[in-house]
């Protein structure tokens, strides 16, 4: 099963001569996992992505994450895509 983890860390920064300035870090990671992985194991992967996005040396005001698992139902059965 393929899962995609997307994380975006962003916040305001002070740049001389500007009214507003923002800095962001965005990353996407794809993993192929067996179907018996637990939610706790997926959350561990998400946490690593958060840490990577925030490691730009500055503290971000906001850090958002998304986990995507794509599937379709065919003839009454769920099939994972990817």
DSSP three-state, residue 4: strand
pLDDT attached to residue 11: 85
| pTM (predicted TM-score) | 0.79
Q: Which domain holds residue 26?
A: 2-80
Q: Residue 20's pLDDT band (boundaries 50, 70, 90)? A: confident
Indicate the pLDDT class of residue 45, thresholds 50, 70 and 90: very high
List the one residue out of 64, 51, 60, 53 whose CA is nearest residue 22: 60
SS3 23: strand
Give the residue among 36, 24, 35, 30 at the shortest CA–CA distance from 5.
30
The number of distinct structural domains making up the chain is 1
pLDDT class for 12, splitting at 50, 70, 90?
Answer: confident
């Amino acid at each position: 099963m393929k899962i995609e983890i997307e994380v975006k860390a962003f916040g305001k920064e002070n740049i001389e001569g500007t009214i507003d300035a923002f800095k962001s870090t965005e990353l996407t990671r794809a993993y192929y996992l067996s179907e018996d992985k637990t939610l706790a194991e997926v959350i561990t992967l998400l946490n690593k992505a958060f840490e990577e996005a925030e490691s730009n040396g500055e503290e971000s005001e906001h850090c958002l994450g998304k986990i995507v698992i794509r599937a379709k139902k065919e003839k009454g059965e769920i099939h994972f895509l990817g």
